[in-house]
Copies of this chain bind each other. A is one copy, B any other.
Amino acid sequence: MPVNLSAPDPQSLLPVPGVRIGVAMAGVRKVNRRDLVVFALEEGSVVAGVFTSNRFCAAPVQLCREHLAASPAVRALVVNTGNANAGTGADGLQRARRTCTALAGLMGLQPAQVLPFSTGVIMETLPVERIEAGLPAALAALSASAWGEAAAGIMTTDTLPKAASRQVQVGGRTVTLTGISKGAGMIRPNMATMLGFLAMDAVIDAATLQALARHAADASFNRITIDGDTSTNDSFVLMATQQAGHACITSLDSADGQALAAAVVSLSQELAQAIVRDGEGATKFITVQVQGGRDAAECKLAAYAIAHSPLVKTAFFASDPNLGRILAAVGYAGIGDLDQGLIDLHLDDVHVVTQGGRHPAYREEDGQRVMKQAEITVRVHLHRGPAEATVWTCDLSHDYVSINADYRS
């Protein structure tokens, strides 16, 4: 059951000038499933991407990097679900290239102007001929208002589509942003990949857009974890169609740059948190804040150690205020000179640990009360510096094991 998440209201998803979307059934893995999504961007659009750090990255990710490096003018994205085209070696790369060549041919583009994305089964051959056969139908369906269909079309084990919009004033003009995402990490047998696609009509140069994509990903999709498994296909793409009519943004430090960045980060965080809320087997949404670190890096180390600990996650599932596990996770996070005698731990408003030991006023029933909530904030203070970091995660439930232990079918 998703945690405080519902399907987006189609009326709330705003078309983005310069972006059209077509969804079709290609039968990649299942018949009668809309599993092929094409984004068509008007000429002049600028695209930036952030991709998985997994060295075992999928063929489409390798090709996205190659095309973004080669082409200043990406005009189309093609996404299939049902097959991740990962762990497929040189043959997988060839099949990803065929997908781009086919779409480029139909749209009168160069193959390098197409970015491919695949999600689904790992280590199985991509049925590229089915994708090629499905492309004309996707192009025939191109529409500015198909964001909801796109959000549904890229799902794998997601129980709900994930999409949202924002509008923000930039230089006296209204900029519209709409994005979709699917999750959730490598949460299910063979079902890999976090994908995020965010389009806006903002006017922004390519270098600043790439910086914004990295900044937004680091503040959102790079702050979530379900099971700590980094997918081979994770991708976040930020598209700017340049049609909003404001002065071109060439720096994120400018007032316009900051206004746009705030909107992109806000939308990215909503899309990223939706992935956690829909995490496989999730029953709790957990915010982990680590404060008082020397730098953000060590705060992230501690936050991820807490968020990845199977013991911490099962305790949340059980609503068991078994909070020594959180201290233990901080202890093994890898902060070499950590002084445990300084550490404070709060669970929402409850002060659990002070100076590394149980707070005299802490009562188990107070911890119990918070642990029963569907949304919980864990706050650790290291008292060794000014930095902080926040990550979002979910609990570890029986359903997680059931879903991941199910034989593929």
Q: Please report A residues at the B interface, Cβ cutoff 8 Å.
A: 53-57, 84, 86-92, 121-124, 186-187, 189-190, 192, 227-232, 308-311, 314-315, 317-318, 320, 322-325, 327-333, 335-338, 340-341, 343, 353, 355-358, 396-398, 400-402, 404-408
Contacts of A228 in B (CB 8 A): 308-310
Establish whether residues B189 and A229, one from each chain, have CB atoms under 8 Å apart when the complex forms: no
Establish whether residues A318 and B231, one from each chain, have CB atoms under 8 Å apart when the complex forms: no
Establish whether residues B332 and A53, one from each chain, have CB atoms under 8 Å apart when the complex forms: yes
Copy number in the complex reads 2
Contacts of A337 in B (CB 8 A): 55
Contacts of A92 in B (CB 8 A): 357
Establish whether residues A190 and B332, one from each chain, have CB atoms under 8 Å apart when the complex forms: no
| Cα distance A336–B53 in the bound complex, in angstroms | 9
Q: A56-B340, A315-B189 are in contact. Are A227 and B331 (CB under 8 A)?
A: no
Partner pick for A406 among B124, B227, B229, B318, CB 8 A cutoff: B318
| Cα distance A42–B368 in the bound complex, in angstroms | 49
Partner pick for A327 among B232, B322, B331, CB 8 A cutoff: B232
Q: A328-B54, A331-B55 are in contact. Are A311 and B357 (CB under 8 A)?
A: no
| Cα distance A397–B124 in the bound complex, in angstroms | 26
Contacts of A406 in B (CB 8 A): 318
Contacts of A400 in B (CB 8 A): 310, 314, 401
Residue of B at shortest CB range from A395? B405
| Cα distance A53–B87 in the bound complex, in angstroms | 35
The 7 sampled A-B contact pairs (Cβ below 8 Å) are A54-B328, A56-B331, A87-B358, A121-B324, A310-B400, A317-B405, A397-B401
